[in-house]
Amino acid sequence: MSDLSLKMIEIVAKGLDNLKDRAMFVGGADADTMGAITGRIAEAYYGGVPEHIRKEVLKRLPNEFIDVMQRFYQKFMVE
């Protein structure tokens, strides 16, 4: 496992508070990419996205993004 992968797991394990802020300051990678990857690790680690965060994100996404996301979850996610 790379040093970057270990750092991302360490960031997630510290908790959800300020997760995106901590993820963006990992050296050597684009902030948006690091935030996206760290968010996915956090979702798996914590067993989902907290409801208040999920609701806020859904309010901000275009309908076509929500449609793609829902189809992805239906096909690939195990409940």
The residue type of 71 is R
Segments making up each domain of the chain, as ranges: 1-48, 51-79
Higher pLDDT residue, 78 or 51?
A: 51
Residue 60: strand, helix, or coil: helix
The token duo for 63 is 């309908």
Instruction: Report d(CA 45, CA 73) in Å as an integer.
Output: 17
pTM: 0.50
Tens digits of residue pLDDT in 4-55: 555 666 666 666 666 666 666 665 566 677 777 777 777 888 888 788 888 8
